[in-house]
Amino acid sequence: MTQRPGTPGSLPVGPSRPARAELRTAHGATPPILVALQSAILIVHLLAGMASAGTPSGGATVRVAVAANFTAAAREIAAAFEDATGDGALLSFGSTGQLYAQILQGAPFEVFLAADEMRPGLAEREGLAVPGSRRTYAVGRLVLFSAEAGRVTGPDALRDPGLRRIALANPALAPYGRAALEVARALGVEDILRDRQVIGQNVSQAHQFVRTGNAEVGFLALAQVVRSADGSRWLVPERLHGPIRQQAVLLEAGRQNPAAARFLDFLGSRAARKILRRHGYRAEPPAPHGPGGP
């Protein structure tokens, strides 16, 4: 697996940097000019990295934009893909909204692994993706997590008067953040969440906020903590929010790259589905069809 460490919009390889709040407007949104600047910087880094990355073992390389919640599973799937095919995957991580903005700006991704259904559908409608290539590769679960043992035993943890900060991913960019808002509405704790929320750029930054003590609890992807025995958690019932169907799509930039189609197909393989389950996702029954349609 080939990976670009430290590029904007990616999760750096190595020790985590301290979590910090991102620049926001008074309404809590990242300024559009900053989003555009981040996207332009990412594209430059991606192009520079691809010029020097080469290909593993003489195989081809596919450039994959990956939703942040899927980081660990994507790395493992990419390694299995390389073992099975000899092709490598160049992974870049970020929130689904950020990645889609970068695709709109011309980032040369060939496959898009989103954390929702909406952006891959938009990519198809906007002519950025190959029609008929979209499919659900994973269904995610939301969890309320604390690094402190015993703090979270159920939804009442959100009503604890001693609770100061609740971390969540930016709902405007990240489906797991949007699901967290739906849960708060369903439980009648919207005001509590609004007063105590700490917004992460993506669900990985929300996880950092909890791990570093910047928030006592956080709404995270189950995949981020499923293999961790520490802390305390409440697995949010799926009836409290819309399904977190994570869809993948072949982008137009990858139409002529056979490795891109192979990677997309590999997501539905038995090996990949086994990895999904291990990381706390479930897979929907495969609906095989080629990039040109059913």
Q: In the prediction, which pLDDT does 58 show?
A: 62
pLDDT at 232: 97
| Per-residue confidence (pLDDT) for residue 236, from 0 to 100 | 98
d(C-alpha 60, C-alpha 47), whole Å: 16
Q: Give the pLDDT confidence score for residue 45 in this predicted structure.
A: 46
Say whether both 103 and 6 belong to one domain. Answer: yes
Write the burial class of residue 250 (CB in 10 Å: 0-12 exposed, 13-18 middle, 19+ buried).
Answer: buried
Whether residue 134 is found in the same domain as residue 26: yes
Let me know whether 62 and 188 are in one domain.
no
Structure tokens, 220: 């995270």
Is there a single domain that holds both residue 133 and residue 150?
no
Whether residue 107 is contained in a domain is answered as: yes
The pLDDT score that the predictor gives to residue 190 is: 96
Is the domain of 96 the same as that of 235?
Answer: no
221 falls within a domain:
yes
pLDDT for residue 31:
52
Q: Which domain holds residue 122?
A: 2-140+245-278
Does residue 235 sit in the same domain as residue 257? no
Whether 149 and 172 share a structural domain: yes
Indicate the DSSP class of residue 68.
Answer: G
| Number of domains observed in the structure of the chain | 2
Residue 2 gets which letter from DSSP? E
Q: How far apart are CA 23 and CA 157, in angstroms?
A: 29
Task: Give me the pLDDT at residue 62, please.
Answer: 98
* Cα–Cα distance measured from residue 263 to residue 61, given in angstroms and rounded to the nearest whole number: 10
| CA–CA gap between residue 219 and residue 206 (Å, rounded) | 8
Residue 59 has a pLDDT of 82
pLDDT value, residue 12: 31
Instruction: Select from 132, 130, 101, 97 the least CA-distant residue to 116.
Output: 97
Separation CA 200–CA 21 (nearest Å)? 7
Distance separating alpha carbons of residues 144 and 156, to the nearest angstrom: 11
| pLDDT block averages, 10 residues each, the chain of length 294 | 41 34 39 49 44 52 96 97 97 95 97 96 97 96 97 97 97 94 98 97 95 97 93 97 96 98 97 96 65 39
Sign of the alpha-carbon torsion through 118, 168, 9, 93: negative
292 belongs to a structural domain: no
91 and 147 fall within a common domain = no
